[in-house]
Amino acid sequence: MYTKKIEEDLNCGVRVAMKVFGGKWKCCILDAISQGISRPADISRVITDASPRVIEMHLAELLFFCAVEKDTDEVYPKRSEYRLTALGRTILPVIAHLEEWGQTNMEFVKDRQAVLDERMVIGMHAEMD
């Protein structure tokens, strides 16, 4: 985990939520675990865009904030199983809400992003609209 230089304000609900499940891949990880994909190696195989390292780090943070719990077989080959806690399960509907908004507006956002990408290639003339 990181040591922050700038004091963070956890008096805002949105910030608190982002603290717990705001990492780049945390929603994907929680989603995978909720589907029964419980071992780190399996999660890595499902979320191929994320490096195994970041999945480890995110799992450690989710564990620390008690969104997931771990159960490790200490004999080798080590096998860990991650499961959602009661707290973790309360996050799922919030993620579902985010996911729904994103799915609804995906095409529009992609289109706008394409405009932006094009501008970067050409050289950023023209206005923002």
Task: List interacting residues with a second copy (CB under 8 A).
Answer: 1, 3, 9-20, 27-28, 49, 60, 63-66, 87, 90-91, 93-95, 97-106, 108-110, 112-113, 116, 120, 128-129
**Shortest Å distance, C-beta 119 to a second copy:** 9
Q: Decide whether 27 or 38 has the Cβ nearer to a second copy.
A: 27
Q: How many residues bind DNA (CB under 7 A)?
A: 33
Contact yes or no for 23/56 (Cβ under 8 A): no
72 touches DNA (CB under 7 A): yes
Residue 74 tokens read as 């200490």
In which element (H, E) is residue 57 found?
Answer: helix 52-64
In sign, the C-alpha dihedral spanning 57, 18, 38, 52 is negative
Query: DSSP character for 22?
Result: -
One residue of 46, 69, 80, 95 binding DNA per CB under 7 A: 80
Task: Provide the angle, in degrees to the nearest 10, between the axes of the packed helices 52-64 and 26-34.
Answer: 80
Query: DSSP character for 23?
Result: S
**Shortest Å distance, C-beta 28 to DNA:** 11
Query: Which of DNA, a second copy, none has residue 39 at its interface (CB below 5 to 8 Å by kind)?
Result: DNA
